[in-house]
Amino acid sequence: MTTKVAVIGAKGRMGATACGAVEGAGDLELVARFDDGDDPGDLGGAQVVVDFTVLAASERNVRHCVERGVHVVVGTSGWTDDKASELRGEVEAEGGVGVLIAPNFAIGAVLMMQFAKQAARFYESVEVVELHHPRKVDAPSGTATRTAELIAQARADAGPDDIPDATTDDPDGARGASVDGIPVHAVRLRGLVAHREVLPGNEGEMLTIRHDSFDRVSFMPGVLTGVREVGKHPGVTVGSEHVLGL
């Protein structure tokens, strides 16, 4: 049975790539493309919507879909745990609607986050570095933020001491952002697509966990899996790992 899919943000880089991926999948049918300024209306009769927009638009788009009983796969950056929690009550009121919010759809990136979570409890220090193209509007990236949150939770569960850092003078923020106490550094450089690495360290050793996306097609297997699986997960689900069986 073919699943009808609409893409919002279809003229953007990720949205256009998603349209191509859906069109190339034998079990999916692309029924509508929407972009900034378009009225999504009945969503073209879609059963699942893929959203690659910006946060303010994404929040409206998701609610529009949920009100119409349409499942949503969200790849837009900026969805925090607080915003996802605000959405949960509305989604639950609609019964069987599923919303998947994924900081990253690349299989390797999802595995990287899981590996970092496992490693975090064994290392005294850990920092996250994310590197992206200069057109990216948010920093740190959603993947880096999610990675730091997972690391922080794993460390809290294991009960290690705070990360050692004697810095007391950093007026320009050279030590980067702090996400749940984990240092996160953002690089924006021409020629990059999407790259991230986690650096756990102990006395005398350092582990490097790194993933590189050289092309946006790397995200598409995860997007298509999300489209196929989101309806099996009613409510709000954060993270592709839940539909990948990790």
Query: Catalytic residue positions?
Result: 132, 136
Cα gap 41→45, rounded to integer Å: 9
Long-range contacts for 214-219 (Cβ within 8 Å, ≥24 apart)? 216/13, 216/14, 216/17, 217/17, 217/21, 218/106, 218/108, 219/14, 219/17, 219/75, 219/104, 219/105, 219/106
- Token code pair at residue 44: 């073209």
Nearest to 106 by CA among 232, 200, 195: 195
**Helix, strand, coil % over all residues of the chain, rounded to 5:** 35, 25, 35
